[in-house]
Amino acid sequence: MRPDILNPLFADITALQGVGPKIAAMISRVAGSRVVDLILTPPAGLIDRSARPKIAEAPFGQLATLTVAVDRHDAPPTGTRRPYRVICSDETGFLTLVFFHARADYLKRVLPEGETRIISGKVEEFKGGRQMTHPDHIADPEKPEELPLFEPVYPLTAGLSAAVMRKAMLGALARAPELPEWQDTAWLDQKGWADWQSALRQVHGPTSDADLSPMRVARQRLAYDELLANQLALALIRKARKKSAGRAINGDGKKLAAIKVALPFDLTDAQRKALKEVFDDMRAPERMVRLLQGDVGSGKTVVALMAMIAAVETGAQAVMMAPTEILVQQHLEWLTPLCNAVGVSIEILTGRDTGASRREKLARIANGDADIVLGTHALFQETVTFKDLALVVVDEQHRFGVHQRLALSEKGPRPDILVMTATPIPRTLALTAYGDMEVSAITEKPPGRKPVDTRTIPLNRLDDVVAAVKRAADKGDQVYWVCPLVEESELIELTAAEDRFEALKPAFGDSVGLVHGRMSGAEKDAVMERFHEGALSVLIATTVIEVGVNAPNATVMVIEHAERFGLAQLHQLRGRVGRGEKPASCLLLYKHPLGETAKARLQILRETEDGFRIAEEDMRLRGAGDLLGAAQSGFPRFRLADVAVHGDLLAAARDDAKLIIERDAGLETDRGKALRILLYLFSRDDAVKLLRAG
């Protein structure tokens, strides 16, 4: 049960004065639907009304707060569309206040003739004079509290005014209770941090732009609270999993020895190290949950295959899930001859399997005739049952949420889980998203893999690029040409790729193909298959090819509007070429002029092919939020913390969480009880439930 002290914060925002269903819907879009969502949304900007010039000194187009005498009201004749004007002055000159659709009785009440008033708003020039249209504030000098000198600015959406959002925020902050201290006292003293409630009020009461910085003392305190909640929840999940028995997977090693002989290459040292870590986990009685990171082409699939063979050796089954049918098909092509060589049966299940064929496959999986099963999301369905599932492998982990990973792991009696990603994840992000897992990294490429010659070319040299692509195609090489997702709109994405397809067709005829996100799976696969077989010289694509498609004969990767892509994504795409014997190149086409950040990002790609360095640089340049994007469903979205700047706080939170679990595993001490409140405050209820489950 959530502690009663937090109930005011977990009320719906409609409980706040002046927030009805219509306003609540707008606020929900930018902050969330509960009071706690509001108080955990820091201001994004600041309106400073502290500039107090005289009328004649007030600069045009800027915000000014003026003390004026109200001289006279100039009401428009009834029936005309003229605005209502109020003439004001000070010792340096005159200022006209302008109101459209005004209520005369209201204006006479707030701006009485002959009285002094403080007004704040933007001063404009009109016909040689000074005017202010609809002042933001009108206050009585006797009641200065009516005019806030500093106003925090919060995220807004169409129809939601800054004033309404601020009023809702003030109502939310008034509900923030005094909470027991969950931080270590010595740590608070060392950092000079205030208590939670004071820090909250400081973050929401900035008096300068510097106060908006994530490195401000009060903001750091709240960021650390959020990071500690994250790390403590992960530590509790990890502890609960270690307590829950898995199964010791330890076969006789015969099939593993045979598969090593069947492999057409030797394993790299990095692969051998990763395999040792995986096998050690599998042989242990606790359940394995391990993340395997490695660049495109670093050989993760071999590690996964050997882990699956190790499970099959014990008479059990293994499953490997990938995000696209194309990728599943490619895994099947690569794994089938190897599995056949060692007497292991392999089955594939995708959304396209229907009727009798599907029923047959389901029966083979259920009765254990299928040793290894490859598939897409179709594997989640209730109709899919296994005889004895011992290992779950998830490829391209970032395409799946945590819940999907768990759903698949419930298909067997606590199977081991190996998740793989070809998107190298900066260390700090790995801690926040995969802190409940052990991590292995394959940091070297297989021998013989040549570096890809990477060049940046302005789009106005497009004709030269087309000519170079034509030369490559004439030599029998294949080319990827990637078009950007211009906006979060498939329609625009489609247009960009289709336009390029139409433009290149005269030069390449039937040897140019097109794939994009709005084609059906079957249509996409048919085009990809033609490219894979060599029937197409050029494949125009959106980023659907980022995952999958192995074409050893592809030597050129053209990426149009490269400045619009994330660094990690560009690196992933580049990894699609240079997989064969021939030298490969990647042409990054950009629109002139390039901003400084875009220039720095493209320069990093030219300098290195180390995916881990690229990921760290990407986060440094773009910040963690942008790096992940909305699609990265497996990552937590922080409101107050930014791991790109709070990396040292994250490391401290991880150490603190570890210490807490060692000293007070059940969170029973006074600090432990306060930490339970912290977990609830940041909606880490699942971790608290683990405590109750013992």
Pick 29 or 575 by higher pLDDT: 29
Domain 50-147 classification at class level: mainly beta
Q: What pLDDT score does 549 carry?
A: 59
Half-sphere exposure of 279 (CA within 13 A, CB side): 17
Measured CA to CA, the distance from residue 620 to residue 426 in angstroms comes to: 10
Q: Which residues contact 533 (CB under 8 A, 6 or more apart)?
A: none
Nearest to 370 by CA among 346, 336, 338, 389: 346
Q: What is the mean pLDDT of residues 325-329?
A: 83
Has residue 376 got a pLDDT over 90?
A: no
Residue 286 is given by DSSP the state B
Q: Which residues contact 194 (CB under 8 A, 6 or more apart)?
A: 202, 217, 218, 221
Highest mean pLDDT among 186-190, 566-570, 682-686: 186-190
- Read off the amino acid at residue 99: F
Q: What is the mean pLDDT of residues 641-653?
A: 89
Has residue 576 got a pLDDT over 60?
A: yes
Q: What pLDDT score does 258 carry?
A: 94
Q: What pLDDT score does 137 carry?
A: 92
Q: What pLDDT score does 486 carry?
A: 46
390-406 pLDDT, tens digit each: 999 998 765 565 556 66
Has residue 28 got a pLDDT over 70?
A: yes
Q: What is the mean pLDDT of residues 185-208?
A: 96
- Read off the amino acid at residue 470: K
Q: What is the mean pLDDT of residues 563-592?
A: 85
Q: Residue 640 — left, alpha, or beta (φ > 0 → left; ψ -120 to 50 → alpha)? A: alpha
Q: What is the mean pLDDT of residues 1-16?
A: 95
Has residue 693 got a pLDDT over 80?
A: no
Q: What pLDDT score does 470 carry?
A: 93
Residue with tokens 């939601």: 160
Residues of the chain above pLDDT 70, percent: 91
Nearest to 563 by CA among 582, 585, 588: 588
Has residue 69 got a pLDDT over 90?
A: yes
Please state the pTM of the whole predicted model. Answer: 0.68
Query: What is the pLDDT confidence band of residue 633, given thresholds at 50, 70 and 90?
Result: very low
Domain 452-608 classification at class level: alpha beta
Structure tokens at 613: 């360095």
Pick 241 or 640 by higher pLDDT: 640
H/E stretch holding 572: helix 567-574
Q: What is the mean pLDDT of the chain?
A: 87
Query: What is the pLDDT confidence band of residue 287, given thresholds at 50, 70 and 90?
Result: confident
Distances (CA, A) of 530 to 125, 229, 523, 533: 66, 50, 11, 5
116-174 pLDDT, tens digit each: 999 999 999 999 899 999 999 999 999 878 888 899 999 999 999 988 999 999 999 99
Measured CA to CA, the distance from residue 515 to residue 513 in angstroms comes to: 7
Structure tokens at 117: 């008033």
Distances (CA, A) of 57 to 61, 62, 64, 608: 12, 11, 10, 55
Q: What pLDDT score does 577 carry?
A: 87
Residues of the chain above pLDDT 90, percent: 56
Q: Where in the chain is the domain with CATH 2.40.50.140?
A: 50-147
Residue with tokens 């083979």: 364
Q: What pLDDT score does 401 carry?
A: 58
- Read off the amino acid at residue 189: D
Has residue 548 got a pLDDT over 80?
A: no
234-285 pLDDT, tens digit each: 888 878 776 666 788 998 999 999 999 999 888 999 999 999 999 999 999 8
Query: What is the pLDDT confidence band of residue 309, given thresholds at 50, 70 and 90?
Result: very high
351-360 pLDDT, tens digit each: 888 889 999 9
Has residue 297 got a pLDDT over 80?
A: no
Measured CA to CA, the distance from residue 543 to residue 485 in angstroms comes to: 8
CATH number of 254-442: 3.40.50.300
Q: What is the mean pLDDT of residues 617-623?
A: 71
446-458 pLDDT, tens digit each: 776 778 999 999 9
Q: What pLDDT score does 397 carry?
A: 61
193 forms beta bridges with none
Query: What is the pLDDT confidence band of residue 203, given thresholds at 50, 70 and 90?
Result: very high
Q: Where in the chain is the domain with CATH 3.40.50.300?
A: 254-442, 452-608
Determine which of 343-352, 359-368, 641-650 has the lowest per-residue pLDDT on average.
641-650
476-513 pLDDT, tens digit each: 999 999 987 644 455 555 557 888 888 899 989 999 99
Nearest to 66 by CA among 113, 117, 126: 117
Q: What pLDDT score does 400 carry?
A: 60
Q: Residue 663, class by beta-carbon neighbours within 10 Å (0-12 exposed, 13-18 middle, 19+ buried)?
A: exposed
Pick 549 or 367 by higher pLDDT: 367
